[in-house]
Amino acid sequence: MAVVPLLGDGDAAPEAVAVFDEIRARRGTDYVNNFWRALAHDPVELRDVWDSIDRVMADGALDPLTKELIYIAVSTAHGCSYCVHSHTAGARAKGLTPDMHRELLAVIALASRTNALATSLGVPVDERFDVSDR
């Protein structure tokens, strides 16, 4: 399924193919996954997303693997199956071990459980957690 064609190199605009080429070069593979081929229907958004990933997912105060774990957590909570699959693959490419994966999923599951409890109880935020005027 998809609501737009998945564009191959022969169908995409030159600006989109340029991004495909950067993806291939960065990853050292010929394969460009479906997300990018679908997003290529909008070369401007494609370029902006790719550049944002470059900026945001780079090594910094947090390392790239930790960032992939956060990505998987968000994708799970949003119910984005595509993103869970692609970023779990991406995390493995960056060093995710089975033990890390197990712990990641256990934390996501626990957070989902206590999120539901806090919301169904209507718990008011403690004053001490507010730092808006510090």
Q: Rule CB under 8 A: which of 21-40 touch a second copy?
A: 31, 33-35, 38-39
Q: How many residues does the chain have?
A: 134
Residue 112 Cβ vs a second copy, minimum distance, rounded to whole Å: 4
Could you say which of 15, 27, 56, 95 contacts a second copy (CB under 8 A)?
Answer: 56
Residues 6+ apart with CB under 8 A from 86: 33, 35
Q: The tokens of 32 are what?
A: 């460009």
Instruction: Indicate the residue among 15 and 52 with the shorter CB distance to a second copy.
Output: 52
Q: The tokens of 95 are what?
A: 């060093």
For the segment 70-129, give every residue that binds a second copy (CB under 8 A): 70-89, 97-126, 128-129
Q: Which of 46, 45, 56, 53 is nearest to 19 (CA)?
A: 46
Verify binding: residue 12, a second copy, rule CB under 8 A.
no
Verify binding: residue 41, a second copy, rule CB under 8 A.
yes
CB atoms within 10 A of CB 60: 10
How many residues contact a second copy, by CB under 8 A?
Answer: 86
